[in-house]
Amino acid sequence: MNLKDKIIVKLVVNKGKPVSGEALASELSVSRAAVWKQVKALREEGYIIESSTNLGYSLIKSPDILRPGEIKAGLGTKIIGKEIKYFRETESTNILAKEMADSVDEGTVVIAEFQTEGRGRLGRKWLSPEGGIWLSIILKPRIQPQYTPRLTLLAGVCAAKTIQGMGLPAKIKWPNDILINGKKVCGILTEMGAEVDLVDYIIVGIGIDANVNTESFPEEFRDSSTSLRKELGEDVDRVAFVRKLLIEFEALYLNFLKGDFHSILDEWRSMSATIGEWVKISTQTRTIYGEAIGVDGEGALIIETGEGQLEKIVAGNCEHLRRP
């Protein structure tokens, strides 16, 4: 962490109470002039930091930037987000995460203010303007490749719970969309690198329309998407949101590593928008209509296509339909 980030951490954990320049300087083993220089630089970035000769510096307001130092202040996780790689702009955080996967520790998070080539599933595009939360988590669980979809479900539970924590009725549409009142607010893209029987790394990419203007989205998905800001009627504190998301992710991931996937699946089921719906599922090879009646232990969707006839779908696109 650089000195600027270290100073921000100290100011954030003090929650607006003043910290003296002398204390900062001695705790960080630098001169008071060095502290002052960084405070000046932070102010230039939009941080409102008050200073009083007797009391020191207090952080009044942060700009809407996903500064790693600020996210880490009060994070307290053991694995997830211990390292945060921040970019103002990138093609796709999933691409970057894949490139660095071999050389960084498990739990490293790649985050960007905006993506120029954000990616959805099956070659689709993910629009990623400024104001959103676009991040990828690098995981290295010692599991067989066929268990990777479990991490998509885990990420869905994580995102839905974090959004619910803001008082919004988030639900999960199979397999990986988070909806608020039927509109998509978050998408998840899981990718992996693996040997035949062992995963090298898994990248969990999470995209959340936090403070973005969905009115400016292309017509094609303008009406089917929403943002946290739109639903709440005010800007979201993205730093606090990311911190909560990472804390939640770690709690779920530690359970997953312990072999407890059941509780995660139970939570997924309880937040599912798809179970009980009439759906149209399109896979690479066919289209299936029926009632979604559940998910199995691997997260495959179970569809009743006719009287007592069941189909299991491991991967595909899901559309909720009106009941016939």
Instruction: List the one residue from 77, 108, 115, 148 that touches ligand BT5 (CB under 6 A).
Output: 115
Q: Is 108 in the site for ligand BT5 (CB under 6 A)?
A: no
Contact 313, 279 (CB under 8 A): no
297 forms bridges with which residues in the sheet?
A: none
Q: How many CB atoms lie within 10 A of CB 81?
A: 25
Instruction: List the one residue from 7, 75, 127, 273 that touches ligand BT5 (CB under 6 A).
Output: 127
- What is the nearest approach in angstroms of ligand BT5 to the Cβ of residue 196? 26
Q: Is 92 in the site for ligand BT5 (CB under 6 A)?
A: yes
Task: Return phi, psi of residue 32, to 5°.
Answer: -65, -30
Six token digits for residue 148: 């990777």
Contact 245, 236 (CB under 8 A): no
Q: Is 189 in the site for ligand BT5 (CB under 6 A)?
A: yes
Using alpha carbons only, how large is the chain's radius of gyration in Å? 22
Instruction: List the one residue from 187, 290, 299, 316 that touches ligand BT5 (CB under 6 A).
Output: 187
Residue for token pair 């997260």: 299
- What is the nearest approach in angstroms of ligand BT5 to the Cβ of residue 207? 3
Q: Is 299 in the site for ligand BT5 (CB under 6 A)?
A: no
Task: Return phi, psi of residue 220, to 5°.
Answer: -50, -40
Instruction: List the one residue from 119, 140, 171, 230 that touches ligand BT5 (CB under 6 A).
Output: 119
Which residue's Cβ has the minimum distance to ligand BT5? Answer: 187
- What is the nearest approach in angstroms of ligand BT5 to the Cβ of residue 285? 18
Cis peptide before 175 (omega within 30 of 0): yes
The nearer residue to ligand BT5, 98 or 140, going by C-beta atoms, is 98
Exposure on the CB side of residue 100, measured as CA atoms within 13 A: 19
Which residues of the chain form contacts with ligand BT5 (CB under 6 A)? 92-94, 115, 118-122, 124, 126-128, 134-136, 177, 184, 187-189, 205-207, 209, 221, 225
